[in-house]
Amino acid sequence: WGSAITGGPASKVDYHIIEKECKKNSKPLHLANKFMKGGKLVKPVTKQKKIYFSDYPEFTPNLTPKEIFQLGSFGGTYWRPIYSGITKKNYKYMHKKYPADWWKGLSPNQLTSSVCDITLNKYKVKVGTSLKLWEKKGWINKEHPYGWVQWYCDFYRGKRSSDDKRQIDRWNKFAGKKGRFRLWLITLIKKKNTTFDDYSVSPKIRQSLQHWGYVLTQHDFNK
Per-residue pLDDT tens, the chain, 223 aa: give them. Answer: 233 333 334 444 444 444 555 555 544 444 444 434 444 456 687 655 789 999 999 999 999 999 999 999 999 999 999 999 999 999 999 999 999 999 999 999 999 999 999 999 999 999 999 999 999 999 999 999 999 999 999 999 999 999 999 999 999 999 999 999 999 999 999 999 999 999 999 999 999 999 999 999 999 999 9
Q: What is the dihedral of CA 80, 86, 87, 93, to 10 degrees?
A: -10
pLDDT at 6: 31
49: how many CB neighbours lie within 10 A of its CB? Answer: 13
Query: CA of 147: how far to CAs of 46, 108, 152, in Å?
Result: 24, 20, 9
DSSP string computed for 97-144: GS-GGGGTT--GGGTS-SS--GGGSTTS------HHHHHHHT--BTTB
CB-based contact 39:5 (threshold 8 Å): yes
Query: What pLDDT score does 42 carry?
Result: 66
Q: Is 35 helix (H, G, I), strand (E, B) or coil?
A: strand
> SS3 for 179?
coil
Confidence (pTM):
0.80
- Sign of the alpha-carbon dihedral angle for 221, 166, 86, 42: negative
CA atoms within 13 A on the CB side of 92: 6
pLDDT the model gives residue 7: 35
pLDDT of res. 187? 98
pLDDT at 44: 84
